[in-house]
A and B are shown apart, each in its own frame.
Chain A
């Protein structure tokens, strides 16, 4: 085995399972084996967009009646495909990026999670992978790797809905048991609330996702894609001061961003980039805060969880906090490690499915570009 320096990607301590108030984990399971320590460890592969990530997650059962089981991330390396300024990521190039990096990422994750271990794969109980939604070719690349590992190591596969992965990661990392969820990323914009074993979509975008709107705006004004277009817009927006009126499109619980993009592209010919970034952020986020508030009022829930890549944006978190504070609630937000697509979130949703007896047969392990959040039954939550 080649030896190289492992940069730590998992630095957080264990998360208590009782904080998220799931159902009790059934004891007898035929689908998988825990390892000789009594722990259940899974490896998760994510690659639905331009990030390719591998996570390893451990569940330690309670050691006595008084203690509580915990979930710990053992490794969570990730590699991002960054297209040149002015360009977006295309399916074929992104798939090639994932194909080039996925095997090395699995190796790096195993080295970090089990240093000095001769047969790290023998400690794993399952391979989790993203079944959808996302871009077809990148998804399929990661699924092909996951399937091969599953056959080589003779452990089951667990197909995971990407959105549910985000939500479960957010719940366990912040300890929010039943929040209203704002899921904002490059491909998705949804306000979600839980009911009867499904994450129900309360409101969503009717055209493009918020991240897509930001990415395309960044392309027009020539902002770099490194580390991400959204981050660079956030930095520029801090320098902006002049508010330019943009269309504010909330239709019931749904939002629309394409008209705003057209308008802002038009204004880009005459206005300063900083002011455009500032106005764009303010308008987009206000729309999201409005629909989230309505979901809170409807469900009577006091906690809001922000997940997805755009969820790292400090201004969005700040605006959300202001609204939630006025309602006497709290916001749970995370930083870039967990907001942005990563392997550990696929592990988290996957291990829950596994522990409750749900696995994916090899012949059913195909990927799908369309897979709505409410299509995956969350059998680990109380009906």
Chain B
């Protein structure tokens, strides 16, 4: 895995009005292409219930050393903390699988 910690996950909970519980997961990828690919793969599956909603976006951030960082940000919202936990937990499992597949088969990753 790349040294910039692609598997680093920031989890934060805050309050919004319609769905009071929310959680945003941000994952940093080495390149924009990989961030986009991960988003495309993971955005296909709808949540099994409508009690949880999730939204994807790609962020470009700049770290303190002025390096560009490509982030996939996923925001989960729900009225129930339990549903939120289940959704985030299984999402992370699938994300880990995407990263594992990329590590094994993304030949362009080293370059």
Query: Which A residues contact B (CB, under 8 angstroms)?
Result: 95-96, 99, 102-103, 106-107, 119, 121, 136-137, 140-141, 143-145, 147-149, 151-153, 362-363, 365-367
A136 touches B40 (CB 8 A): no
Kindly list chain B residues whose C-beta atoms are within 8 Å of the C-beta of A147.
40-41, 44
Q: Distance (Å) between the CB of B6 and the closest chain A CB?
A: 14
The one of B41, B44, B93, B102 that contacts A99, using a Cβ cutoff of 8 Å: B93
The one of B94, B100, B102, B104 that contacts A140, using a Cβ cutoff of 8 Å: B94
Q: How far is the CA of A103 from the CA of B101 in the complex (A)?
A: 6
- The A interface, classified by DSSP as helix, strand, loop or mixed, is helix
- The chain A residue sitting closest to B89, CB to CB, is A92
The one of A137, A152, A365 that contacts B106, using a Cβ cutoff of 8 Å: A152
Does B17 make an interface contact (CB < 8 A)? no
Kindly list chain B residues whose C-beta atoms are within 8 Å of the C-beta of A137.
90
A362 touches B44 (CB 8 A): yes
Kindly list chain A residues whose C-beta atoms are within 8 Å of the C-beta of B107.
119
Query: Which B residues contact A (CB, under 8 angstroms)?
Result: 37, 40-42, 44-46, 48, 90, 93-94, 96-98, 100-102, 104-107
Q: Distance (Å) between the CB of B94 and the closest chain A CB?
A: 5
B104 touches A103 (CB 8 A): yes
Q: Distance (Å) between the CB of B104 and the closest chain A CB?
A: 5
- The chain B residue sitting closest to A136, CB to CB, is B48
B48 touches A152 (CB 8 A): no
Kindly list chain B residues whose C-beta atoms are within 8 Å of the C-beta of A121.
105
A366 touches B44 (CB 8 A): yes
Kindly list chain A residues whose C-beta atoms are within 8 Å of the C-beta of B104.
103, 106-107
Kindly list chain B residues whose C-beta atoms are within 8 Å of the C-beta of A151.
37, 40-41
Kindly list chain B residues whose C-beta atoms are within 8 Å of the C-beta of A149.
101, 105
Q: How far is the CA of A153 from the CA of B102 in the complex (A)?
A: 11
Known pairs A362-B40, A362-B44, A363-B44; A145 contacts B97 (CB<8 A): yes
16 A-B contacts, Cβ less than 8 Å apart? A95-B93, A106-B101, A106-B105, A107-B104, A119-B107, A137-B90, A140-B94, A141-B93, A141-B97, A144-B45, A147-B41, A149-B105, A152-B102, A153-B105, A362-B40, A362-B41
Kindly list chain A residues whose C-beta atoms are within 8 Å of the C-beta of B97.
99, 102-103, 141, 144-145, 148
B105 touches A152 (CB 8 A): yes
Q: Distance (Å) between the CB of B72 and the closest chain A CB?
A: 13
The one of A95, A107, A144 that contacts B41, using a Cβ cutoff of 8 Å: A144
Q: Distance (Å) between the CB of A205 and the closest chain B CB?
A: 25
Kindly list chain B residues whose C-beta atoms are within 8 Å of the C-beta of A365.
44
Q: How far is the CA of A95 from the CA of B90 in the complex (A)?
A: 10
Q: Distance (Å) between the CB of B107 and the closest chain A CB?
A: 7
B40 touches A144 (CB 8 A): no
